[in-house]
Structure 1
Amino acid sequence: MGTHIRTYSRTTREALILMGGQIRLARKQRKMSEADLAGRIGISRSTLQLIEKGHAKVEIGLVFEAATLVGVPLFVSEPSRLTAQIERIEDKLALLPQAVRRRRSEVKDDF
């Protein structure tokens, strides 16, 4: 049984590299070593290095925690605004159907 190799779009790859670079830059601007930040997150230095390189296989929660600890914004400029944004999304989702189903194709019986 072969291993499935996942491919990512160019936009996804570039966004991962950008996030990793922002984390690395912010860490260095704060004069934090890799070991310091990795220790605060509770990960190895090698995992932090993968985050900073934009590796797609790193758990997203670890990436967000690294970003938060060095001050890289996540979705909003002020962390206190995240709750309000979550509420807005939940309000919008409440107005939509619970499930999205594929449209049935019409039978074309014109012979």
Structure 2
Amino acid sequence: MKRKRSYSRVTKQALSVFGKLIRVGRTERGMTAQDLADRANISRTTLYNIEKGEPGPEIGTVFEVATLVGVRLFDVDESELAIHNARLDEKLTLLPKSVRASKQEVNDDF
């Protein structure tokens, strides 16, 4: 039996806002739910869940639907997104490949 995952209030609100932005974008473009679902190659039920702010749909699917209706991701345009991506690649190169839990107890009793 699959356990139901719980989400924080902030996560639920963010999903709801993002879903509403997608619905507004679809409506402003005069697209029916079926049109957008067909274009994104998903079912109308999946689109309904995205617009409702459900946490179940895959993030790639949600981002693709958002892009199709003109919802900007990360509040930047495509060229800025590429720049941010390159900078983060550089930063990740400088960071350790993995993080291990510290085995030493820190003595912070001054």
Using structure 1 for the length normalisation, give the TM-score: 0.88
- Residue 47 (structure 2) pairs with residue 48 (structure 1): yes
Aligned to 1:8: 7
Q: Which amino acid aligns with 2:98?
A: A
Which one has the largest radius of gyration?
1
SS, match of residue 63 in structure 1 = helix
Aligned to 2:16: 17
For the aligned residue pairs, the C-alpha RMSD in angstroms reads 1.7
Q: Which amino acid aligns with 1:71?
A: G
CA contact (8 A) 1:76 1:82 kept: no
Aligned to 1:61: 60
In 2 relative to 1, CA 10–107 (structure 1 residues): closer, same or farther, beyond 3 Å? closer
Aligned to 1:81: 80
Report the count of equivalent residues.
Answer: 107
Q: Which amino acid aligns with 1:100?
A: V
Q: Which amino acid aligns with 2:30?
A: K
Q: Provide the rounded CA distance (Å) in 1 between the counterparts of 2:2 and 2:69.
A: 36
Q: Provide the rounded CA distance (Å) in 2 between the counterparts of 1:107 and 1:85.
A: 36
Residue 81 of structure 1, CA deviation: 1.9
Q: Provide the rounded CA distance (Å) in 2 between the counterparts of 1:45 and 1:105.
A: 53
SS, match of residue 72 in structure 1 = coil
In 2 relative to 1, CA 102–79 (structure 1 residues): closer, same or farther, beyond 3 Å? same
Q: Provide the rounded CA distance (Å) in 1 between the counterparts of 2:97 and 2:106.
A: 27
Structure 1 alignment gaps of length 5 or more:
none
Q: Provide the rounded CA distance (Å) in 2 between the counterparts of 1:103 and 1:41.
A: 45
